[in-house]
Amino acid sequence: MRPADFELLSNLLKLNSGLVLTPDKAYLLESRLMPVARKHQIPTMEALADKVRSRPDDTLLRDITEAMTTNESSFFRDSKPFDQLRDVLLPRMLEARGARKQLRIWCAAASSGQEPYSISMILKEQAAKLAGWKIDIIGTDLSNPILDRAKEGLYTQFEVQRGLPITLLVKYFKQEGDKWRISDDIKKMVQYRRLNLLQPFGDLGQFDIVFCRNVLIYFDQPTKAKVLEAISKQMPNDGVLLLGGAETVLGVTDRFRPMEGQRGLYELSTAPALQKAV
Amino acid sequence: MKTCLVVDDSGVIRKVARRILEQMSFDCSEAENGLIALDACKARMPDAVLLDWNMPVMSGIDFLKGLRAMPGGDKPKVVLCTTNNDMKHIVEALGAGADEYIMKPFDHDIVQAKFAQIGLV
Ligand SMILES: C[S@@+](CC[C@H](N)C(=O)[O-])C[C@H]1O[C@@H](n2cnc3c(N)ncnc32)[C@H](O)[C@@H]1O
């Protein structure tokens, strides 16, 4: 791949999705973009770069951006955050929102739906406590094809076997050929929307709980900071942010601070500190 | 060291499973059908059983029922290992007292994840 082409394409990706690619990832660029080139009847990577340089159309640019996203996900990924949701966050919100009985949860990198559906299953399992509550779960992602997969809710054997407890599989999935389809009950708890975290999202409203997991890792520091600051504006003072295992706010932004004793959970720096038990 | 009994009529699968489990620091023993496995459990109750579904002499599900009826047989965590990925079998296995299931072919990551899920690692 010509160095100038790599530079062009990696700049484009950085601009459109925040993805930062170092030159040692040129092979990744090539292997993921060749199918895009083929789809647009462009014979080579060089020709693809030339097209982007001269007269790119929106579909081509979008296809390039989407092809470069990593959509790896799994049900109850890392399990701990979902235990924390059930054991720490829900009880806290049940109390704090008891009067209004409203809870809004945002999955800011929903990918193929495993994360929002894991959240939905947890809430469904707590249905008795949440009777009469209005709960919104919004799943957003940059990539349209991956959101289509999420909406479809059809998973392979390999995907359900990773992380999904057998009891929940039996309860909330139906077998379809050699795949598994999530039940309508769970599916209808989640609304999906295409959203680029790099663009303004003020119209999404406020969220009590934000899952933004395993997406910031692809961004550089200034982009991480910008996205985290924008997210902080969508949260009430007692809202909670959950990041992925390799992500943190420390050294990135001072809008959030780690929640004491709760790894991976962050609260707004403006939130009143919880009284420590004596 | 935690103990795991690998029950499968295929020697190859037992070997693969043993290698994975030993990497996870389990002390492994093997049985080639349900009947032999029941005897093994009578002699020494393992912490975990990785159990095949289809076996001659005594199937996985019959072993499971037998195990759960034995004194102390409620203790081992049983992970059923099957190519039968249909709901009917999974429900049946759950009903008989399986804790989790793994679909073949499995690898280190899957076994590790499933065992972690039920608190064995
Ligand atoms: C690795 S997945 C994480 C999925 C899930 N949150 C999890 O932890 O398993 C990352 C997702 O982020 C999405 N993504 C990447 N850049 C994005 C951006 N700028 N705005 C919104 N979503 C983005 C990708 O399309 C991909 O689906």
Structural domain span for residue A33 = 3-68
A178: domain CATH number?
A: 3.40.50.150
Asked if the structure places residue A73 within a domain, the reply is no
Instruction: Looking at the structure, tell me whether residues A37 and A128 fall in a common domain.
Output: no
What pLDDT is stored for residue A272 in this prediction? 83
* Dist CA A13 CA B67 (whole Å): 57
A45: domain CATH number?
A: 1.10.155
What pLDDT is stored for residue A274 in this prediction? 64
Render pLDDT for B18-66 as a digit per residue (tens, 0 to 9). 999 999 999 999 999 999 999 999 999 999 999 998 889 998 999 999 9
Query: What CATH homologous superfamily does B3-111 map to?
Result: Response regulator (3.40.50.2300)
Choose the closest CB to B90 out of A169, A174, A178. A169
The phi, psi pair for A104, rounded to 5°, reads: -125, 125
* Dist CA B58 CA B55 (whole Å): 6
The CA distance from B105 to the nearest CA of chain A, in Å, is 10
What pLDDT is stored for residue A206 in this prediction? 97
Instruction: Looking at the structure, tell me whether residues A16 and A124 fall in a common domain.
Output: no
Instruction: Looking at the structure, tell me whether residues A218 and A84 fall in a common domain.
Output: yes
The SS3 of residue A140 is strand
Instruction: Looking at the structure, tell me whether residues A57 and A85 fall in a common domain.
Output: no
Note whether B102 contacts A170, CB cutoff 8 Å.
no
What pLDDT is stored for residue A211 in this prediction? 98
* Dist CA A126 CA B93 (whole Å): 25
Asked if the structure places residue A194 within a domain, the reply is yes
CB-based pocket (< 6 A), ligand 1: A 17-18, 69-73, 77, 109, 111, 115, 141-143, 146, 196-198, 213-215, 244
Note whether A162 contacts B94, CB cutoff 8 Å.
no
What pLDDT is stored for residue A142 in this prediction? 97
Note whether A178 contacts B94, CB cutoff 8 Å.
no
Q: Looking at beta carbons, which residues of chain A come within 8 Å of B99? A: 166
| pTM given for the model | 0.89
Domain end position, chosen among A23, A41, A68: A68
For residue A169, give the nearest of B77, B75, B87 by alpha carbon: B87
Instruction: Looking at the structure, tell me whether residues A22 and A151 fall in a common domain.
Output: no
Domain end position, chosen among A68, A96, A111: A68
Asked if the structure places residue A12 within a domain, the reply is yes
How does pLDDT run along chain A (278 residues), one tens digit per residue? 899 999 999 999 999 999 999 999 999 999 999 999 999 999 999 999 999 999 889 999 999 999 999 999 999 999 999 999 999 999 999 999 999 999 999 999 999 999 999 999 999 999 999 999 999 999 999 999 999 999 999 999 889 988 899 889 999 999 898 899 999 999 999 999 999 999 999 999 999 999 999 999 999 999 999 999 999 999 999 999 999 999 999 999 999 999 999 999 999 999 987 654 44
From residue A83, give the alpha-carbon distance in Å to each of A6, A86, A119, A122, B73.
42, 5, 10, 9, 29
Asked if the structure places residue A74 within a domain, the reply is no
Instruction: Looking at the structure, tell me whether residues A168 and A58 fall in a common domain.
Output: no
* Dist CA A104 CA A115 (whole Å): 15
The HSE-up count of residue B8 (CA atoms within 13 Å, CB side) is 23
What are the extents of the domains in chain B? Answer: 3-111
Q: Looking at beta carbons, which residues of chain A come within 8 Å of B117? A: 79, 163, 165
Give the ipTM of the model, two decimals please: 0.74
Any residues with CB less than 8 A from the CB of A5 and at least 6 apart, and which?
A45, A46, A49
Instruction: Looking at the structure, tell me whether residues A25 and A95 fall in a common domain.
Output: no
Q: Domains in chain A: how many in total?
A: 2
Instruction: Looking at the structure, tell me whether residues A39 and A167 fall in a common domain.
Output: no
From residue B46, give the alpha-carbon distance in Å to each of A214, B4, B29, B59, B81.
38, 6, 9, 19, 17
Asked if the structure places residue A191 within a domain, the reply is yes
What pLDDT is stored for residue A246 in this prediction? 94
Instruction: Looking at the structure, tell me whether residues A51 and A153 fall in a common domain.
Output: no
Domain end position, chosen among A46, A68, A90: A68
Instruction: Looking at the structure, tell me whether residues A52 and A190 fall in a common domain.
Output: no
Instruction: Looking at the structure, tell me whether residues A261 and A148 fall in a common domain.
Output: yes
E-strand ranges in chain B read 2-7, 26-31, 48-52, 77-82, 100-103
Cis peptide upstream of residue B105 (ω within 30 degrees of 0): yes
What pLDDT is stored for residue B117 in this prediction? 85
